[in-house]
């Protein structure tokens, strides 16, 4: 036996409600109501032409008709909602708005967030590293040159010290064929950084704090390692790719362009990952060993930097974290790699010219 439900009916011409009885049939709805004169009228609504509202949880509205104006039913009986949904099936929106549907939506959103995070954290650096490793040296040199010009635009280069530091570095035998050029810049911050393709920038403050030529050799060996191992290139690619992806995700394309332009400025404070720093340290230690330079110079360098960072919060603090661990790393290297230290007078000579003419 089919059940009859009470509802309010509007004929599409007037807002006056009529109380009607509705029965859900195979083909649609059967609607009956009594007229003021006592006669019973009936309407048949075909399934295909009946539309329903989706967002009011207590009142369901059904509409019917091929052309405007449309007839309308207002049903508050929850039993009708249940039977109607059971027999007709619910729309996608309605199904997604149930508790299970909402769980699905939230799971979907979390999955997307997780996927983006995974891509960003793992896939992107991996792809960027591969790309960076395949970058031709000529391009690296070209890129490094324009970045160098951009960075040194507003800096004061100490010409005499620049000549001396390059002569100093010329005494050290290195592998790889990057055209190394070191510049000393007058800056009161103990910092040094390497650009892709062979340009290395050393701030005068870090030189002032140095006591032995081994410290400088260690610094340059470390920075050169970043060049040789393409760390600088990888880092720039990585920092750019990440920001570019974020800009593209949030649809900020003008921001992406600006990012590339401003990136040159940010390079000086670009920090390497712990892994890259370790690689840089170890490769630097190998260079020191190959040249017979005392590896304790690197330990002294880190101690010098630690002291500087204790005094003030320096940029170096953020770029070279956990100096203690790196000092231990150097100590382990020295223990494991005993080698004869070769006395190099030229290094001492150039180092003296670098540190002598204060004021």
Partner 1 sequence: MNPANTTNTEAGNNEFSFNGKGSQLLGIMLLNTLLSIITFGIYYPWARVNRLKFFWENAELNGSPFVFHGTGKELFRGFIKVLLFIGLFYGLLFYGKLSGNLTLYFISLLAFLIALIFITPLAIHGAMRYRLSRTSWRGIHFGYRGSRVQLITDFFIGSMLTLITLGIYNSWFTNSLRTYIISNIRFGSLRFGYDGSGTELFAIKLKSAIFSVFTFGIYYFWYLEEWTNYYINHCYVEQNGQRYYFTGQLTGSGYFMLIFINLLLGIFTLGLATPWVIIRTTHFIIRNLQIPAEVDFNLITQTEDEFKDAAGDDLIDYFDLGII
Q: Nearest approach, Cβ of 71 to partner 1 (angstroms)?
A: 7
Contact (Cβ atoms closer than 8 angstroms) between residue 225 and residue 278: no
Contact (Cβ atoms closer than 8 angstroms) between residue 121 and residue 130: no
| Residue with smaller CB distance to partner 1, 42 or 103 | 103
Contact (Cβ atoms closer than 8 angstroms) between residue 214 and residue 296: yes
Measuring CA to CA, which residue among 25, 70, 33, 79 is closest to residue 52? 70
Give helix 213-228 / helix 345-356 axis angle, nearest 10°: 100
Q: Does 61 bind partner 1 (CB under 8 A)?
A: yes
Tell me which H or E stretch contains 354.
helix 345-356
Among 35, 57, 154, 254, binds partner 1 (CB under 8 A): 57
28: left (phi over 0), alpha (psi -120 to 50) or beta: left
Other Cβ atoms closer than 10 A to 181: 17
* Largest interatomic CA distance in the chain: 122
- Identify residues 100-119 at the interface with partner 1 (CB under 8 A): 102, 105-106, 108-109, 112
| Residue with smaller CB distance to partner 1, 74 or 279 | 74
Number of residues that bind partner 1 (CB under 8 A): 35
Angle made by CA atoms 150, 155, 156, in degrees to the nearest 5: 140
Q: Does 58 bind partner 1 (CB under 8 A)?
A: yes
| Residue with smaller CB distance to partner 1, 105 or 160 | 105
Q: Nearest approach, Cβ of 37 to partner 1 (angstroms)?
A: 19
The residue range among 62-70, 137-145, 178-186, 346-354 that interacts with partner 1, by the rule CB under 8 A, is 62-70
Among 74, 129, 209, 252, binds partner 1 (CB under 8 A): 74
Residue holding tokens 């170890």? 282
d(C-alpha 87, C-alpha 26), whole Å: 9
Q: Does 43 bind partner 1 (CB under 8 A)?
A: no
Q: Does 48 bind partner 1 (CB under 8 A)?
A: no
Q: Nearest approach, Cβ of 121 to partner 1 (angstroms)?
A: 19
Other Cβ atoms closer than 10 A to 213: 24
The residue range among 96-104, 125-133, 256-264, 276-284 that interacts with partner 1, by the rule CB under 8 A, is 96-104
d(C-alpha 4, C-alpha 276), whole Å: 76
Q: Does 14 bind partner 1 (CB under 8 A)?
A: yes
Q: Does 56 bind partner 1 (CB under 8 A)?
A: yes
Q: Does 252 bind partner 1 (CB under 8 A)?
A: no
Q: Does 71 bind partner 1 (CB under 8 A)?
A: yes
The residue range among 20-28, 93-101, 197-205, 329-337 that interacts with partner 1, by the rule CB under 8 A, is 93-101
| Residue with smaller CB distance to partner 1, 19 or 27 | 19
Contact (Cβ atoms closer than 8 angstroms) between residue 189 and residue 320: no
How many Å separate Cα 230 from the centre of its chain? 20
Q: Does 179 bind partner 1 (CB under 8 A)?
A: no
Structure-block tokens of residue 156: 């004061």
Q: Does 17 bind partner 1 (CB under 8 A)?
A: yes
Q: Which residues bind partner 1 (CB under 8 A)?
A: 8, 10-17, 19, 53-59, 61, 63, 68-72, 74, 76, 93, 96-97, 102, 105-106, 108-109, 112
């Amino acid at each position: 036996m089919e059940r009859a439900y009470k509802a309010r009916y509007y004929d599409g011409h007037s807002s006056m409600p009529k109380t009607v009885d509705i029965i859900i049939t195979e083909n649609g709805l059967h609607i009956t109501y009594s007229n003021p004169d006592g006669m019973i009228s009936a309407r048949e609504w075909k399934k295909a032409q009946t539309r329903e509202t989706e967002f009011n949880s207590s009142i369901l509205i059904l509409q019917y008709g091929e052309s405007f104006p449309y007839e309308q039913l207002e049903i508050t009986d929850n039993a009708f909602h249940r039977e109607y949904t059971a027999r007709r099936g619910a729309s996608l929106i309605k199904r997604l708005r149930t508790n299970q549907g909402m769980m699905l939506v939230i799971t979907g959103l979390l999955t997307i967030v997780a996927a983006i995070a995974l891509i960003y954290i793992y896939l992107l650096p991996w792809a960027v590293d591969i790309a960076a490793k395949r970058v031709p040296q000529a391009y690296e040199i070209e890129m490094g040159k324009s970045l160098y010009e951009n960075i040194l635009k507003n800096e004061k280069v100490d010409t005499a010290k620049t000549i001396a530091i390059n002569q100093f570095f010329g005494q050290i035998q290195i592998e790889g064929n990057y055209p190394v050029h070191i510049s000393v810049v007058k800056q009161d911050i103990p910092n040094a950084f390497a650009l892709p393709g062979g340009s290395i920038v050393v701030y005068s403050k870090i030189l002032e704090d140095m006591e032995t030529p081994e410290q400088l050799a260690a610094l340059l060996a470390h920075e050169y390692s970043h060049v040789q191992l393409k760390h600088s290139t990888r880092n720039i690619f990585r920092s750019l790719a990440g920001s570019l992806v974020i800009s593209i995700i949030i649809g900020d394309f003008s921001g992406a362009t600006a990012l590339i332009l401003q990136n040159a400025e940010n390079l000086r404070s670009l920090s390497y990952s712990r892994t890259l720093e370790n690689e840089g340290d170890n490769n630097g230690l190998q260079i020191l060993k190959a040249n017979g330079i005392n590896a304790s110079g690197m330990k002294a360098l880190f101690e010098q930097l630690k002291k500087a960072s204790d005094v003030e919060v320096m940029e170096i603090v953020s770029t070279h974290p956990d100096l203690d661990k790196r000092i231990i790393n150097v100590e382990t290297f020295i223990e494991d790699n005993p080698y004869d230290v070769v006395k190099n007078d030229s290094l001492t000579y150039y180092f003296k010219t670098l540190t002598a003419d204060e004021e």
